[in-house]
Structure 1
């Protein structure tokens, strides 16, 4: 099986949906573990958009005040969950992979930044692991902590608190009886040189259907290709600076160049997403109202995405129709 672990730092943007979907499709992943969704509600439409199709199942832990949030998605049939465990900063699934007989635990972790929050998380996971009869464990994480000074650059860990945090984290890893898999090809998972990016970009069109259709007719596929080509060029330049920053400090000019590249990347990405959305509407304008195979396919897809597969009732996930109906009834009776 192939598992992708990804800290999204927010997945409300369609640009990130497309980027994650391309990564999942390119790597042919069986499971996607997303941290820091920054969303309190996740629906089937979002999950299928990120995964690339409707052939997926998912579970999530909502964010707290727009902070945190955990989402686990997997290909339908690839993993068969038997238990779901959730806590302050983790989402654990216990089940069986397809063509396998041994049960395993897949734990998706996004740790709080405070040492107190991290200790609470560690104290929740250690007893669960100790009392479980599951032998195979995969803890995919963003623990927001390092094991040694060499794993972090630019922020000092010389204080007693920083050293103590590393010691406790290493003790946690030993207590979980897991192996910390090293990075392959890169030294750090992320890099920030005090840069900030603000502002929003969008392309809006107004007018009657006839005028919109005329404008969309004039759009050429080359516009999308050009945006995608510019995206790749910006990513390559950005990665060159990141690689250099791993071994040496960037100059002031290089820091400004990195900020400019990042801002330009988001501008091009949003423009590309807008072009793709407009082009996707072209066929709907032509055929959406006709009694066509395309129209019925969209209706069936909408009906499937709007269906309620399951609900979290009293802290437990349930897909039993009778229990779901009773849970919905009790919920609205209590409110009204």
Structure 2
């Protein structure tokens, strides 16, 4: 205990803890007082929950340190008790630790135990509080044993609800290398990697703008590019990107800025009605603003719907929070954190971009008559532009087909 107090003071942090029983268990949570205010704590032998208020936040958030029981029968009571205390939260929920349970059979290998009552209660707990298990980087399992030919499971993790994902930009969990323990450390990392601007972005909501489709068609047909088909397509898309950017600048306020501008106009019109009475002129002005505002709402929702990939939802409900949350989760799943190039693991965005450039530069310098044939049934999708190119080619295939299919 004296060592813990001395350690916390040396770091300038406050702490709370749950003592170990013999050589098992024991939980410690440390935090900086300047970053958050601890309102209340809930703890027992299996978890330590801090009910806190972060800076610039009015809700009560929960940061939890968890150590689930090994005994399968005890897990049901454990998750019931944890859930009862979590219901006090009104904002973000951030839980981390060894849950001693899995969410699906793919998280366990080499073990005969499957579909246990304890694992089912864990899955129900995650679903009830709408928690998200972010993708685990640098590995698949967090616990391992050499007995019985090898047992491997994903028992340790971070779980976040939608509020936490929105607040913690670029959140992802990464597993560290194996050490002397049979568990691997799982770190919750924040902050997204900046790889620079995307090569081409196309939002379906642009098609709702009057004259946009004609603008693209006229420019595409008038642009003259010579070379092989892929080069022609690349240069045309690059030029179209600049044309769309200029068109957006000419349009003035856009998206959320336009919505805010219209909402202010609506407020001013309603205030005038309160002061001056409801005249025909103000009534017509209010109706025109409402029509314009609803149109902008639909465009903004269409953009977030496309980014979140929720194709089965219909447009119309202004549920931006849900779309933001879905977009953040997908962004975490698709983000590129590191790349193994020539046996070296690269994590810096600049180094990754240089490695990719060098690879393709060397590839395209080879004799084009020779190359490998790629056969793959389940090729994983890359995140950078699938939202963009797929939509553009699907909706404008008649326009771009000549450039795509022409070969020299």
TM over 0.5: no
TM-score for both structures, normalised by structure 2? 0.34
Which is higher, the Rg of structure 1 or of structure 2?
Answer: 2
TM-score for both structures, normalised by structure 1? 0.41
